[in-house]
Amino acid sequence: MSAGPTTITPLATYRNESPYPFCPGCGHTVILNHLNEAFRLLDRDPREIVLVSDIGCAGLSDQYFATSAFHGLHGRSVTYACGIKLARPELDVLVVMGDGGTGIGGTHLINAARRNIGITVLVFNNLNFGMTGGQHSTTTPAGAVTSTTTAGNLERPLDVAATAAVNGAGYVYRGTSFDKDLPARIAEAVRAPGFAILDIWELCTAYYVRGNQFSRQALFATLDELGFATGVVRHEEVADYGAAYRAANPPRPDSPSLPPKGLEPRFAAALARRFELVVAGSAGQKVRTAVRLASEAAILSGLAASQRDDYPVTVQTGHSLSAQILSPEPIEYTGVETPDALLVLSTDGLKKVGRHLAAMGEDGRVFAVPELGELPTRAPVTPIDLSRAPGKLNRSLAALAAVLGALGLLPKEALEEAARLGPEEYRAGNLAAIAAGWSLASGL
């Protein structure tokens, strides 16, 4: 096997001994020879170069180089290259993709450019899909005849370079396989710390040339007609995303990750069986935090607690429900079909507990703010009137404390301790709410 027409020592090439497989006259051979020259200019260790290839004829490229390589799925080459570079920033990571890759992987190109992840993308842009039979691609010029645009292409071609440039890519170049300075431009792109892309136009002799009487002259004429900028389109000093990330996120090895909020049981609850309590209110009523505090109070009382919250995806409106289970035994089943008690704090909450109200029997207990009127349930309904409480009072917690006290589920001291263990800014308010609620408990 021959390494090509020139005689070079093994150290002077990044190619392996396999001859290229491309058609006679195909631009891929020329560009890959320029790429090899660029590697020589850069003088990097081939082990530290990762050539990521997309799919199609250009996707075969990695097999002809003695560098590290990654051949993945169509359009996704940029994502693999980003992962490789982010995890190991010292590597030179280059992507070779065809124009097909700019369509199927367009979002990845744009987002890698926008983030300035320090990879270098070479688009082997021969204006059609060569490997699969000459179909039109995102970059096929309007009017071109391909196997899928037999009446002439109706689509405007994607301006790959302008798209990358307008989204902030650090280095953008557009040229052709005929450019003599391509090795220098590729080397320049690799040295640029941010995202770099070279949109390299070339001839597909198997299809596009034959279908459109296309030639070197026609290629330059098409670039002119489209008004696509050529040469170095953009070269700005931008930081590689990985470097910026590491600078913005210094390691903090002394700071523990997700430390447990350990609760030591030190109070006694009289609860002898599993008890299910649903609290139904509105967004902004602090239902979830009130129930959370009660769950922690239950743990402080030697019980197990579970809490399932339910709220609409538009979080600041509509209902806010928390289903709480208290049990002297570990809780294996966290579902609630028919709660033992239900606390309804608002119309939003009421709309969501119809099935509970219908299912609850005379042994259940429903507590509700008085303005909700008569509720459709067989369970006895007890009003909780906090209308005369101070305006700032956390009414959800106060009402919940009243219910927990009235039902004898948890000791007041456990609720107070849970409040003291909580965020300092809410401590006084939570203690006031517990006191206000507890004072109502005996009357419920």
Partner 1 sequence: MRELTDGSTAIVRGALDAGCDFFAGYPITPASPILMMMMRELPRRGGMAIQGEDEIASIGMCIGATMSGARAMTATSGPGISLYSENIGLAIMGEVPLVIVDVQRMGPATGGATTTGQGDVQFVRWGTGGGYPIIALAPSSVPECYTLTMDAFDLAERFRCPVFLMTDKELNLTATTVEVDGWRAVPVRERPARAAGGDAPLPPYRYDPPADVPPLAHYGAGEVVRFTGSTHDERAFITKDRATVERLNRHLAAKIDDHGDEIERVTLDRQPGATTLWIAYGSTAGAMRAAAAAARATGRAVSTLTVQSLWPVPERAIREALAGIERVVVAELNHGQYRREVERVAAGRVAVSGLHRIDGELIAPEQFLEAAA
Asked whether position 44 contacts partner 1 by CB under 8 A, the answer is no
Identity (one letter) of the amino acid at 39?
F
Residue 394, phi then psi, degrees to nearest 5 = -70, 95
Could you tell me which stretch among 156-164, 261-269, 341-349, 404-412 binds partner 1 (CB under 8 A)? Answer: 261-269
Tokens linked to 140: 């096929």
Report the residue from 310, 393, 422, 429 that binds partner 1 according to the rule CB under 8 A: 310
CB contact at 8 A, 196 and 190? yes
Which span sits near partner 1 by CB under 8 A: 28-36, 70-78, 231-239, 394-402? 70-78
Residue 78 beta carbon to partner 1: minimum distance, rounded to whole angstroms: 8
- Which listed range, 31-39, 238-246, 359-367, 408-416, lies at the site for partner 1 (CB under 8 A)? 238-246
What is the Cα Rg of the chain in Å?
34
CA–CA separation, 303 and 271 (whole Å):
8
Integer Cα distance of 171 and 198 in angstroms: 8
Mask: binding to partner 1, 333-362, rule CB under 8 A, as x and -?
xxx-x-------------------------
- Taking the C-alpha atoms of residue 302 and residue 288, their distance in angstroms, rounded to an integer, is 21
Binding flag, residue 257, partner 1 (CB under 8 A)? yes
Q: Considering the complex, what minimum distance in angstroms separates the CB of residue 127 from partner 1?
A: 25
Which tokens hold the place of 166?
């307008």
Which of 26, 57, 66, 279 is the binder for partner 1 (CB under 8 A)?
A: 66
Please state the closest distance from residue 315 (CB atom) to partner 1, in A.
Answer: 11
Q: Is 47 in the site for partner 1 (CB under 8 A)?
A: yes
**Which residues face 281 on adjacent strands?**
320
A 10 A CB-CB count for 133 gives 12
- Taking the CA atoms of residue 229, residue 235, residue 236 and residue 240 in that order, the dihedral angle to the nearest 10 degrees is 120
Question: CB-wise, 38 or 66, nearer to partner 1?
Answer: 66
Q: Which of 54, 199, 296, 340 lies at the binding interface for partner 1 (CB under 8 A)?
A: 296
* Among the listed residues 3, 40, 42, 83, the single contact to partner 1 using CB under 8 A: 83
List phi, psi (to 5°) of 108: -70, -40
- Return the axis-axis angle of helices 287-300 and 412-421, rounded to nearest 10°: 110
Binding status of residue 69 toward partner 1 by CB under 8 A: yes
Residue 249 or 387: the one with the smaller Cβ distance to partner 1 is: 249
Q: Does 84 bind partner 1 (CB under 8 A)?
A: yes
Considering beta carbons, is residue 27 or 75 the nearer one to partner 1? Answer: 75
Instruction: Name which of 91 and 384 has its Cβ closer to partner 1.
Output: 91
Nearest to 28 by CA among 170, 168, 182: 182
Check binding of 390 to partner 1 (CB under 8 A).
Answer: no
Total residues at interface with partner 1 (CB under 8 A):
70
Angle formed by the axes of helices 424-441 and 287-300, to 10°? Answer: 80
Task: Check residue 72 for interaction with partner 1 (CB under 8 A).
Answer: yes
User: Of these, 42, 111, 168, 218, which contacts partner 1 (CB under 8 A)?
Assistant: 111
With CB under 8 A as the contact rule, the residue among 9, 227, 261, 273 that binds partner 1 is: 261
Q: Any contact of residue 70 with partner 1 (CB under 8 A)?
A: yes
Phi then psi for residue 182, to 5 deg, are -60, -40
Q: Which residues pair with 368 in a beta bridge?
A: 344, 383
H or E element, residue 182: helix 182-191
User: Under a CB-based contact definition with an 8 Å cutoff, are residues 357 and 376 in contact?
Assistant: yes
First to last CA, the chain: 94
Site for partner 1 in 89-108 (CB under 8 A): 90-91, 107-108
CA distance 32 to 22: 11
List the one residue out of 149, 413, 148 whose CA is nearest residue 300: 413
Residue 330 found at the interface with partner 1 (CB under 8 A):
yes
Candidates 305, 344, 397, 410: give the one binding partner 1 (CB under 8 A).
Answer: 305
CB nearer to partner 1: give 360 or 368: 360
Among 332, 362, 374, 425, binds partner 1 (CB under 8 A): 332
Select the residue interacting with partner 1 from 24, 260, 373, 376 (CB under 8 A): 260
With 0-12 / 13-18 / 19 or more C-beta atoms within 10 angstroms meaning exposed / middle / buried, residue 270 is exposed
List contacts with partner 1 (CB under 8 A).
46-48, 50, 52, 60, 62-63, 66-73, 76, 79-88, 90-91, 107-108, 110-111, 242, 245-246, 249, 251-253, 255, 257-258, 260-265, 292, 295-296, 298-299, 303-310, 313, 330-335, 337
